[in-house]
Amino acid sequence: MRNVVLGGLLLTGVAASVPAQAQDTVRIGLVQPLTGSVAYNGKSVVEGARLAVEDMNAAGGVLGKKIELIVEDGQCTPANSVNAVEKLVQKDKVVTLVGAFCSSATAAIMPVAQKYKLPLITGVSSKASLTEQGNPYFFRAAETDALMAEAFAKILANDLKLTKVAYIGVNDDWGRGGVEEFSRDLTALGVKTVLTEYFDHGATDFFTLLTKLRAAKPDGVFVAAETQDGSILVKQIREMGLDTKVFGVGSWATADFINLTGEAAEGIHAAVPYASSMDTPRNQAFVQKYQAKYGIKPGKYGAAGYNALNIAGQAIARAGGTDAEAIRASLAKTSYEAPNGVYKFTDKGQAYGFEAVLVRIEKGEPKVIASTPVDAPH
C-alpha cells in the first residue's frame, strides 16, 4: 500500500513537470532564499517584487496580459538555485529571471540563464566580478561595494573626523567586498587601518572581537553585516562600553534593525542604496503602498525586489513581445524611474544613475544626511 502511495507521488511528480500549455500571462521567475539563515532578507525581496507586480497589473499589465510572478526557493546555495532556475525555465516557461540573492548562487545560475538565452536581473548580488564575466544576459540593478565606497568614503572621513578605523565584516563575499572597498578608499584619504576582522554569519557573541577592538582604540568602526548579525554586533559594541562611532553597510535603515538594536542604534551611520526616509514624491508613494500592504516600511531589500521587477516588466513592455532577445535588448536601454532615482545599465549590465544615501539613525528613525547619484564604474 505504501509502495503504491510513493509510486503515485513519483508519477504525479513526473506528470506535473510536463510543460504548461498556452499562456495567458507573462511569467517572470524569481529565485530567492526562502528558507535557511538568509530567508529574512529573501522574504523582503519577494515582498517588494509582489508589490511591483501588483502595481503593474493594476495598470493593465504588459502586452495586454497580466504578469505572473513565480517564486522559487534557491536557499542561497548554487545547486538549489540551479534546480529552481531549471524548473522556472523548463516547466513554467518564464520569459525573464530575477535573482538570486547570494553572489555564489547568482554566479551559478548565470551560465544557466546564458545557455537558455534568458535575461537575468539581480537586485541584490554585489560581488564586483559578476558583471565582468561577459555574460550579455546578466543585469545587476544594485550597487556594488566599490560604488558605495566611492560615493561615501570622503563624506564619512570628513563628517566623522576619522583618523583610525577598525573594519569588521561578515565572512562572505559581500562582507569581505565591503571591508576591502571601504578600507581602500578610506586609506587613500589618509585614514589608518588599525584592525580588520571577519566573523561567520550566525555568530552571536562578539565580546572577544570587541576586546581586540577596544585595545586597538579606533575612532570609528566600519561594519559590514546584515540585520541579524549587525544588530547583535552594534548592541554589544555599546555593552562593552565602547563609544566609537559606528558606520557601515547593510540593511540598517529598517524598523526591524532599529527595534532589535534598541538604543545602541542611536547615532550610527549606514550607507545604503535605499532608505524609506528618502524625500522624493516617488519614494513617498512607494513607502505608502508598501506600508499599507505589509504593515512595515520597506528596507533596502524590499526596494531591491520592487525595482528589479519593475525593470523587468518595463523591459518586456518595451520589447513588445516575449522574445528573450528583444527583452535583453530593451533591458540594455533601461531608464527606470525608481523610488530612489533613475536606473540605467552600462554595456556590462551594471546599473548606475540611482541615488545612494548615507543615513544616521536619530531617535529611532533613519535620517538622510547625504545623498549622491551612483556613477557608472570606470
Partner 1 sequence: MDLFPQFLANGLVMGVFYALSALGLTLIFGLMRVVNFAHGEFYMLGGVSGWFVTNHLGLDFFSGLIVVAAFMAAVGWLVDRFLIERVRGQGEEPGILLTIGLSIFLVNGTLLLVGPAPMKVAGAMAEGPLFFGPIAVTKLRLLAVAVGIALIVGAHLLIRRTRLGAAMRATFQDPMAASLAGIRTGHVYAATFALGCTLAALSGMLLASIYSAQASVGGLISLKSFVVVILGGMGSFAGAIAGGLLLGVAEAMWGGYVSMGMVDVIGFVLVILILLFRPQGLFSIRTERA
Partner 2 sequence: MTLERNILLAFLAGAALLPFAVTDQYILHLAIMALFYAVLASSLNLVVGYVGEFSLGHTAFLGTGAYTAALLSTQAGMPMWVTIPLAGLVSAVFGFAIGAITLRLQGPYFVIVTLSFAEVLRIVANNWIAVTNGPMGLAGVGQNLFGDVAVTDKAGFFLIVLGIAAVALYFSYRFVYSNAGRAAVAVRENRYVAQSIGVDPFGTAMQAFVLGAFLAGLAGGFYAHYISFVGPEVFRFAFMATMIIMVLLGGKGTLIGPLAGAVIVTVLEEYLREVQELRLTLFGLIVMAIVLFLPNGLMGFIALRREQQAAKPTLNAAKERTV
Burial of 210 (0-12, 13-18, 19+ CB in 10 A): buried
**Of positions 3, 281, 295, 378, contacts partner 2 by CB under 8 A:** 3
| Angstrom distance (rounded) from CA 285 to CA 47 | 16
**Of positions 26, 31, 51, 89, contacts partner 2 by CB under 8 A:** 89
Q: Which is nearer to partner 1, 121 or 168 (CB)?
A: 168
Q: Smallest gap, in angstroms, from Cβ of residue 331 to partner 1?
A: 30
Q: Which is nearer to partner 2, 98 or 278 (CB)?
A: 98
240 binds partner 1 (CB under 8 A): yes
Q: Of these partners, partner 2, partner 1, none, which one is at the site of residue 239 (CB under 5 to 8 Å by kind)?
A: partner 1
What Cα–Cα distance (Å) separates residue 14 from each residue in 11, 18, 22, 116, 207?
5, 7, 19, 22, 52
| Angstrom distance (rounded) from CA 71 to CA 88 | 9
2 binds partner 2 (CB under 8 A): yes
Judged by CB under 8 A, the stretch of 54-62, 165-173, 271-279, 367-375 that binds partner 2 is 165-173
Q: Of these partners, partner 2, partner 1, none, which one is at the site of residue 238 (CB under 5 to 8 Å by kind)?
A: partner 1
| Angstrom distance (rounded) from CA 211 to CA 78 | 36
In the window 95-154, what residues touch partner 2 (CB under 8 A)? 103-104, 107-108, 111, 127, 129, 133
Q: Smallest gap, in angstroms, from Cβ of residue 262 to partner 2?
A: 30
Burial of 137 (0-12, 13-18, 19+ CB in 10 A): buried
In the window 55-114, what residues touch partner 1 (CB under 8 A)? none
Q: Does residue 202 contact residue 37 with C-beta atoms inside 8 Å? A: yes
Cα-flanking dihedrals φ and ψ of residue 102, to 5°? -70, 145
163 binds partner 1 (CB under 8 A): no
Cα-flanking dihedrals φ and ψ of residue 112, to 5°? -65, -45
Burial of 342 (0-12, 13-18, 19+ CB in 10 A): middle
Q: Smallest gap, in angstroms, from Cβ of residue 30 to partner 1?
A: 16
Q: Smallest gap, in angstroms, from Cβ of residue 293 to partner 1?
A: 15
Q: Smallest gap, in angstroms, from Cβ of residue 165 to partner 1?
A: 17
Q: Smallest gap, in angstroms, from Cβ of residue 262 to partner 1?
A: 8
204 binds partner 2 (CB under 8 A): no
**Of positions 75, 81, 131, 227, contacts partner 1 by CB under 8 A:** 227
Omega within 30 of 0 (cis) for the link into 100: yes
Q: Which is nearer to partner 1, 31 or 67 (CB)?
A: 31
In the window 203-222, what residues touch partner 1 (CB under 8 A)? 204-205, 207-209, 211-212, 214-215
| Angstrom distance (rounded) from CA 38 to CA 43 | 9
378 binds partner 2 (CB under 8 A): no
In the window 20-59, what residues touch partner 1 (CB under 8 A)? 35-37, 39-40, 42-43
| Angstrom distance (rounded) from CA 185 to CA 173 | 18
Q: Smallest gap, in angstroms, from Cβ of residue 232 to partner 1?
A: 5
Contacts to partner 1 by CB under 8 A = 35-37, 39-40, 42-43, 171, 197-200, 202, 204-205, 207-209, 211-212, 214-215, 227-228, 231-232, 235, 238-241, 256, 259-260, 262
Contacts to partner 2 by CB under 8 A = 1-3, 6, 9-10, 12-14, 16-19, 34-35, 71-73, 75, 77-79, 82-84, 86-87, 89-91, 103-104, 107-108, 111, 127, 129, 133, 171-173, 176, 200
